[in-house]
Amino acid sequence: MSDPEKPRELRRQLGLASATALIVGEVIAIGIFLTPAEMAKSLGSPFWLLLVWLAMGLMALCGALSYGELAARFPQAGGGYVYLREAYGEQLAFLYGWKCFFVMDPGITAALAVGLASYVAYLLNISPPAQKLVAIATILTLAAANILGVQLGARLMRGFTFLKLGLLAFILVWGFLLRLGDWSNFAPFVAQRPGSAPLMGALAGGMVAAFFSFGGWWDVSKLAGEVREAERIVPRALILGVTIVTVVYIITSAAFFYLVPLVRVTSGETFAAQAGEALFGRAGGEIFAGIVIVSVLSSLSGLIMAAPRVYYAMARDGLFLHAAAALHPRFDTPALAIALQAGLASLLVALGTFNQIIAYFIFVTVSFIALTVAAIFALRKKMPSAQGYKTPGYPFTPLLFIALVALLLFLLAAQNFQQAILGVGVVALGWPVYRWVFRKRRKLSATRLGENVVAPKTSAS
């Protein structure tokens, strides 16, 4: 007989295909059509562009291998929040969740939805107010699908992801087989073209851009509480997903180089239009707009599916609205957590102020990712006998990731120190909220891995 006092648990319904699709779908967004052009123009060399993609792919893989061990140790909903809590304590974990809920998750959701709506406007010639309605409707529709069931949300995400990969594969086959480009565009292969940026500065900028092109691979860990055999499948999904993304970025960049001479590239937007024209003639812009819409839908699906699991996990620990810890009685989904993210994102779309807000929190977001990977060292000391998946190449794998992230943080701070400090400061404001609002909360839920909450004795016992 089940314990009526025990809270209901998320059901483990997702497999390797869904977990991998979430990574690929969320990571490969609109940036794949814009970032390669900006990087190529700055670097001025196919070789250096390839090197940057490989370096950032290796960095992401090191991070994924490390996250795999964390997910195997704590196969629960919440991802980074859970790992930070177990390694450093709940104060730091709360600050991570505070930043996710109030800034990054709704901000990125709003940015993606507005980007999608702008391409819809290009196709349908709708007004700016109508674009906002399209963006909000997209957010609310995807949120509703995820409330109605994790399987429904997963099917949508898989469908958009596979369609996106299919369309990208079609672009590659169409361009190369029909010889619509010119192999001479790759020459010279190593030397920088005239007018390129100085190499060291171009490499630094390329690394930053490529890192954010890979952003989001860690989100699959937030769904670990709903993945079957999460200790085994989540690490596999992380490795497979990051590998697929790296290959897609390299091949797509090569296709764009083949289609459009570097001397004609002025911006990411014009580059995408030029590539579309080379592939499909005068209708290329419209066809590319449709491909971008599918790409962004895939990313939005993954983000709206994964992000609310952090607020759900916080609520289970008594560090968020208590009602957010409840699952929908019929659909077994964290309905309130999903609704809150969608509501905040829709509000940001309506207000139209989110791009600058997101920029202020990039530095602190990257810092949290580094701290999460570094948690492996603390957790191996705390739990040396833990069984299951272990990070290959430990300790060099997480150390390489942390070293590269440290370099990235230096570049970000050098680029805009005031922005970085303000972002850290605003996140730090969550500390008094934790101390004064949540410090006297009830004891953490018995569902925390490795803990058993013993009921206090009464006179009748």
Q: What's the pLDDT score for residue 260?
A: 83
The H-assigned helical ranges of 89-149 are 90-99, 105-124, 128-147
Give the list of residues 6+ apart from residue 384 with CB closer than 8 angstroms, or none.
none
Helix (H, G, I), strand (E, B) or coil at 191: coil
Whether the CB-CB separation of 28 and 245 falls below 8 Å is answered with: yes
Whether the CB-CB separation of 221 and 71 falls below 8 Å is answered with: yes
**pLDDT of 56-102, one tens digit each?**
999 999 999 999 999 999 999 999 999 999 999 999 999 999 999 98
**pLDDT of 349-358, one tens digit each?**
998 766 677 7
Q: What's the pLDDT score for residue 445?
A: 42
Tokens of 312: 């759900």
Whether the CB-CB separation of 252 and 245 falls below 8 Å is answered with: no
Q: What's the pLDDT score for residue 457?
A: 39
Q: What's the pLDDT score for residue 441?
A: 57
Is pLDDT of 339 > 60? yes
Whether the CB-CB separation of 146 and 327 falls below 8 Å is answered with: no
8-31: average pLDDT:
90
181-199: average pLDDT:
87
Lowest-pLDDT choice from 11-20, 186-195, 256-265, 317-326: 256-265
Is pLDDT of 4 > 70? no
Q: What's the pLDDT score for residue 456?
A: 39
Closest C-alpha among 307, 278, 283 to residue 101: 307
Binning pLDDT at 50, 70 and 90, where does residue 458 land? very low
Whether the CB-CB separation of 154 and 26 falls below 8 Å is answered with: no
Which sign, positive or negative, has the C-alpha torsion 280, 285, 286, 289?
A: positive
**pLDDT of 220-275, one tens digit each?**
999 999 999 999 999 999 999 999 999 999 998 898 888 888 877 776 666 777 77
Residue linked to tokens 């001025």: 44
Domain boundaries defined on the chain = 16-384+411-438
303-314: average pLDDT:
95
**pLDDT of 433-446, one tens digit each?**
888 887 665 444 44
Q: What's the pLDDT score for residue 30?
A: 77
State the Cα–Cα distance between residues 357 and 352, nearest whole angstrom.
11
Is pLDDT of 366 > 50? yes
- What pTM, to 2 d.p., does this model score? 0.88
Q: What's the pLDDT score for residue 461?
A: 34
16-384+411-438 classified as CATH 1.10.240.10: no
State the Cα–Cα distance between residues 393 and 65, nearest whole angstrom.
9
Q: What's the pLDDT score for residue 446?
A: 42
Q: What's the pLDDT score for residue 80?
A: 95
DSSP category for residue 13: -
Whether the CB-CB separation of 160 and 294 falls below 8 Å is answered with: yes
State the Cα–Cα distance between residues 370 and 60, nearest whole angstrom.
12
Whether the CB-CB separation of 29 and 245 falls below 8 Å is answered with: no
Closest C-alpha among 166, 170, 167, 162 to residue 18: 162
Closest C-alpha among 112, 99, 101 to residue 28: 112
- What mean pLDDT is reported for the chain? 87
Q: What's the pLDDT score for residue 302?
A: 93
Q: Above pLDDT 90, what percent of the chain?
A: 54
SS (H, E, C) 252-278: HHHHHHHHCCHHHCCCHHHHHHHHHHH
Which of 3-12, 42-51, 111-120, 136-145 ranks highest by mean pLDDT? 136-145
